Amino acid sequence: MSRRGRADSPGSTRSGSALQRRRLLTALLALAISSALEAQLSPPELEEAAEVARRTATATLRGQNRILFDTLDVDGILQLRIGANVWAQLTARQREVLRASVRQTFASALTPPRSTPGEVAWSSARERADGVSVFLGLRFGDKRLKTRWELRRAAPGGWRIEDVTLADPGASLANRAVFSLGPNPVRPRDRHRQARQEALPRLAILGAIALLVSLTYRRLAPPKRVLLLLTASAPAVLFLVDGILAVRRALAEPYAISEELLSTPWDRLLRLAREADREGRIAEADALWERAIAAGVAAAPISYERGLADMERGDLPAARRHFQSALDASEPAPGAARELALIQLSEGKNREAEELVARYLAATGPDPDALSLDAVIESNLGFPQRALAAIQEARELVGGGIRGAELEARVRARTSDAAGTVAALRPLESTGRLDREGLRSDPAYSAIANDPVWIAFLNERPPPGPTPGPTPAR
């Protein structure tokens, strides 16, 4: 009996250990699931972050940069560049110099020209692992800028902006600000040597003043000696105080700040390349673009910009080549996927266009134009429900209403759906915003220009009510 008991003991021990491990794993799994659920943001929190981004963007578009400067995590951007330990040893004056450089980079990229009013045309938000991505469409007159704002919740409360990315070229303003600081924005220095360099010239000047006074003093009458001392004391005190302050600053600052923080070497090259491109000097522009890349500019945004210039010139093969290069880069320019999708759509390659639009939306988030393009492609492929879902999402982005109805009408017209186009425009009659004469000449409806349903709609007598106003600007 005792032998049997001893024989059963190891199995019982193993069984107990396995049971404990299972219980431990179950507890850890429950804790992980609980933590993940707690980490998820509620819809109000997501909307709060989106509102912070919208409010900041709106103020910046109006030239009111204070909200941007207060919300932007400038110190976090700079610490990633120069290191937290170095940042901690900089003086308040040095930190402010670096902060001003970063702020200027963001403000110059997001502030429109004074004569061009700006607005937030649409927005959406998406939760990410450590914060929220808010996608904002900024409109400057006839131009639109798609941006992605990365926010994280600050410890005391509220939200901080970590970065703003220009979505189509894939250009991070935080990275641009870091590059604008130059290769060595902060460098160690010999404080005692610097203190000597600051003190010696001032001591030499003080010595010269003292020598001049001693040589002149005995030659003057007593009343003029007093005047001499008073006259010489003023510059002597100024140089003495200036020297003391300079020495104290040198001893207090273990690091030196570069004097050329905003002198990025490629700015002039980019300007010259764009000028050469506009004037048709393609070979010269190519050489300048390559020099800019060699100087430190990311290659993908340049390839994307060159592709857009090729499209304007009508050089489709060159545009396709540059857009593909922008997508193949290690850090691609997502806007190239949308441009290639448009090219593929024009050639009837709907399946390829669908894949490119999906890639673009995954990288940059939704926007009305890309969703409208997606709706057209899905309709061409024979998936009307997918097309309707894309149209509905686009309408929601622009806030529905008149703008949403016009957007849906344009998409349906592009797919040759005259009945759907008319149905989308009908609600505008009661608002007085339906301009049939304007619709006749609008190229957006050219695909259904000869459709009997569309012609009958345009020829209808407007119902009594408010006088039709102009079709809203697009």
Is 237 found in the same domain as 171? no
Q: Is residue 172 part of a domain?
A: yes
Q: pLDDT value at position 1?
A: 42
Beta bridge partners of 118: 140
Could you list the residue range(s) of the whole structural domain that residue 75 is in?
43-186
Q: How far is CA 278 from the centre of its chain?
A: 26
| pLDDT < 50 regions, the chain | 1-15, 28, 30-38, 470-474
Rounded to whole angstroms, what are the CA distances from 36 to 30, 32, 46, 157, 400? 10, 6, 16, 20, 34
The b/e string for 427-453 (b: 16+ C-beta within 10 A; e otherwise) is ebbeeebbbbeebeebebbebbeebee
Spatial separation of the C-alpha atoms in residues 7 and 19, rounded to whole Å:
20
Is residue 464 classed as helix, strand or coil in its secondary structure? Answer: coil
**Is position 324 within any domain?**
no
In the prediction, which pLDDT does 74 show? 94
Same domain, 172 and 63: yes
Beta bridge partners of 446: none
What is the Cα–Cα distance from 134 to 150, expressed in whole angstroms? 7
Would you say residue 175 lies in a domain? yes
The torsion angles phi and psi of 82, rounded to 5 degrees, stand at: -110, -5
How many independent structural domains does the chain possess? 3
- Asked if residue 339 is part of any domain, the answer here is no
- Per DSSP (E only), the strands in 344-431 are none
Same domain, 194 and 182: no
Using the 3D structure, point to which of 186, 204, 225 is the last residue of a domain: 186
In a domain, 268, yes or no: no
Same domain, 56 and 169: yes
Instruction: For residue 38, count other CB atoms closer than 10 A to its CB.
Output: 7
Same domain, 163 and 50: yes
Does any domain span residue 458?
yes
CA distance 285 to 277: 5
pLDDT in tens, 253-290: 677 776 555 556 677 888 899 899 888 898 998 899 99
Domain identity same for 162 and 205: no
pTM of the model: 0.72
Residue that terminates a domain, selected from 212, 235, 252: 252
Do the domain assignments include residue 146? yes
pLDDT value, residue 25? 54
